Amino acid sequence: MKQTHEREALLDDFADRSFFQIADGDYIAARAMYRAKLFPQFLSASQQAMEKYLKYVLLLNRIQATNVRHHLSKALAIIGNSKKVQLSFTDYTKEFLQRLDSMGRFRYGEVSSTVFDRDLLMLDWAVWEVRRHCTRDPAPARVQIQHGVIPARIRIPGGYLEQILDDTAHPAREALLWHNLFFGRRKGKVRMMDRFMSTNSPLSVNPHILDEVVKYVHLPKDVQEAYRQLNHNHKSAG
């Protein structure tokens, strides 16, 4: 029995330090990247944060998920099928997670990407909703977002984000608070940034070089299949 308790405690510690704490850091890094207009890095850090939050939920609830890798949709499906956790997200969060899954997990320009002015708000919204499930306490998950109402304060004991909020001298605190309606200053509204970025992947412009590219670098099979189809369509149209 003692060994079982020790093992469970060590698993919890691994989950906390490897996923939850780093996810909080990735979230703040994503906000800093958005503020600096480093939009591809914003998408990547946002996806990394969400991936780690979901992997924390999986391990915290002892749900086996060794094949998730970088796919948010796989993590969400496994959590849902396990019946151990009832995730509760608004359509805004679902849409943002889908966009991160289609763009944010590609860190080398493999696919084209777009960032809108509202995406910082969407990130904050999604983190607030996903993070409610990063605890065994069922109370935070019962708190819902109401349109037109300032989101409720939710504190997860031991969270790195909470430590930064409480430390007024922490160098990451400003990046966390900046225009943050969900975790920052309670002004009742935030100003949307006038920012838009759309980037075409090199392969979307020149899909015919795919076979040469994959001689030297790894590309996911689904990406290769998509560009082979695009190249075929280009040839057919020509």
- Same domain for 96 and 182, yes or no, is yes
Looking at the structure of the chain, the number of domains it has is: 2
Give per-residue pLDDT as tens, 148-201: 788 888 999 999 999 999 999 999 999 999 999 999 765 655 555 556 677 778
Give per-residue pLDDT as tens, 72-112: 999 999 999 999 999 989 999 999 999 999 888 877 778 88
E strands, the chain, in order: 113-115, 197-199
E strands, 46-148, in order: 113-115
- Same domain for 192 and 208, yes or no, is no
pLDDT at 69 over 60: yes
Task: List the domain range (segments joined by +) for residue 223.
Answer: 201-238
Contact yes or no for 99/111 (Cβ under 8 A): no
- Same domain for 53 and 97, yes or no, is yes
Give per-residue pLDDT as tens, 157-167: 999 999 999 99
- Same domain for 172 and 76, yes or no, is yes
- Same domain for 76 and 153, yes or no, is yes
From residue 100, alpha-carbon distances to 66, 70, 109, 227 in Å are 20, 10, 14, 20
| Residues whose CB is less than 8 angstroms from the CB of residue 201 and which lie 6 or more positions away in sequence, other chains included | 109, 110, 111, 112, 113
- Same domain for 179 and 232, yes or no, is no
- Same domain for 65 and 128, yes or no, is yes
- Same domain for 176 and 218, yes or no, is no
Model pTM?
0.85
